[in-house]
Amino acid sequence: MEEELLMIPGPVPVLPRIREAMSKPMIFHRGEEFGQLYAEIVEGLKEIFQTRNDLFVLSGSGTCAMEAAVENLAAEGTRVVCVANGKFGERFSEIAAGGGGGKRKREANFDWGSPIELEVVKAALEESPSSAPKVVTLVHNETSTGILNPAREVGRLARKHDAVFVLDCVTSIGGDEVLVDEFGVDIAIVGSQKCLGAPPGLSAVSVSEKAWDLIQENKEEKEKEKKNKKRPYYADLVAYKKSFEKRQTPYTPALPLFFALHEALEVVKEEGLTRRVERHRRLAETVRNAVRGLGLELFPRLNEVSSYSNTVTAVKIPEGKGLVDGDEQIRGGMLERGVRVAGGQGRLKGKIFRIATMGNITEDEVSRTIEALEQVVEEVEKW
């Protein structure tokens, strides 16, 4: 039987050679062989991140890395500006509000699918000069709505206000232009199961010197007030830094996933990062053109500093036009044809569907997806 084609924003289809890498025999995770493997993974990721900052791999998904970033940076009462226009931007806000860190967040919220307005972000940063924010968080590529947010511009605002800039690049690194150092990103995050084309379960975090300064400041603050929130344990970035001096992870790594990530990075290297990003852009544009050609409407609104995502396309489900349950008819109809696309999340459930062009997706797979969508459209009466 033909494999179900996953055209969802992660996990993505995994190439056979990457799957085969996971079947390698286990190795000693404190030995030289793992040390060499880990060092090569880190060097490969630094090239893709376009950074010279420290970088570590966590045995946990992108959300694990998001939590590691916020919880290491923000002590009790630390002001964090969370810029959000979708589900994952709001996740940063939820992390900042929880975990024992107290009421420390300040939000710059926008409607899901609406573009970020830089003046609103600027106002949030300047709202209370007596307690200036120390951290700014942003999701670069918001897959819940299909919009690419202005990382460079928000990074510039963060630097102007001397705040540490945390950028979720979980679904953009490896699939779009992400220049971590040039964008002024202090902590950048990626997930293994997105544009890198590896299985789910790993994330990577890069950390700048400016971020380390704030982490150390919070470490000292928390040690003074032990009765309050303790530092993260499993997600303690200081522990990752110390362990990497010996080319190790502080806790047992998910070895099969490290093998797979190493092979996935070889695939990226063979294709070339520039060509890989261009392929993502070309395939996303193909999907968007097909959607428009079928009379459907793309979901997110744009402004001069935002653009459509090149790793996932969000499409409005039209009302009426012969549809009884648009979400079921569109996604269900495509699944009957062997193609799985994603629905809307949270408040967008039943209002949009999403087609990903992420990882090692090919033109043939995009063509198969478009053909399935065309067939579904044709069978809906009075579309």
Render pLDDT for 289-327 as a digit per residue (tens, 0 to 9).
999 999 999 999 999 999 999 999 999 998 876 676 888
pTM of the predicted model, to two decimals?
Answer: 0.95
Q: And the tokens for 2? A: 């033909």
Separation in Å, CA 197 to CA 174, 202, 263, 313: 9, 12, 10, 18
Structural domain count of the chain: 2
129 Rama sector, left if φ>0, alpha if ψ -120 to 50, beta otherwise = alpha
Q: What is the pLDDT, as a whole number, of residue 210?
A: 98
Residues 48 and 71 in one domain: yes
Q: Report residue 238's pLDDT band, with 50, 70 and 90 as the boundaries.
A: very high
- For position 212, which CATH number holds? 3.40.640.10
Is residue 176 within 8 Å of residue 139, measured between CB atoms? no
Residues 232, 155, single domain; the answer is yes
The answer to whether the CB of 73 falls within 8 A of the CB of 99 is no
Residues 267 and 15: their CA atoms lie apart, in Å, by 9
C-beta separation of 55 from 206 below 8 A: yes
At 101 the pLDDT is 46
pLDDT digits 0-9 by tens, 247-257 = 999 999 999 99
Q: Where are the alpha helices (DSSP H) in the chain?
A: 16-21, 32-49, 62-73, 87-97, 118-126, 151-160, 209-224, 237-244, 255-271, 273-293, 326-327, 333-336, 363-379
For 163, counting Cβ atoms within 10 Å of its Cβ (0-12 exposed, 13-18 middle, 19+ buried), the class is buried
Q: Are residues 227 and 298 in the same domain?
A: no
| Cis peptide leading into residue 9 (ω within 30°) | no
Q: Judge if 295 and 221 occupy the same domain.
A: no
CATH number for the domain that contains residue 361: 3.90.1150.10
79: three-class secondary structure by DSSP: coil
